Amino acid sequence: MAEAERIIGTPDIPDAEGTEGDEAEGRGEETAPSRGKRKIMVLFGVAVFAYLLDLISKMIVVAKLEHHPPVEIIGDWLRLDAIRNAGAAFGIGEAFTIIFTFIAATVIVVIARLARKLYSLPWAIALGLLLGGALGNLTDRIFRAPGTFQGAVVDFIAPAHFAVFNLADSAIVCGGILIVILSFKGLDPDGTVHKD
**Among all residues, which ones are annotated catalytic?**
155, 169
- Give yes or no for a contact between 85 and 152, defined as CB atoms under 8 angstroms apart: yes
d(C-alpha 122, C-alpha 39), whole Å? 9
Q: What is the CA radius of gyration of the chain?
A: 25
Residues 6 or more apart in contact with residue 180 via CB below 8 angstroms: none
Question: What residues contact 12, with CB distance under 8 A and at least 6 apart?
Answer: none
Question: CA–CA separation, 80 vs 71, rounded Å?
Answer: 5
H or E element at residue 24:
helix 20-26
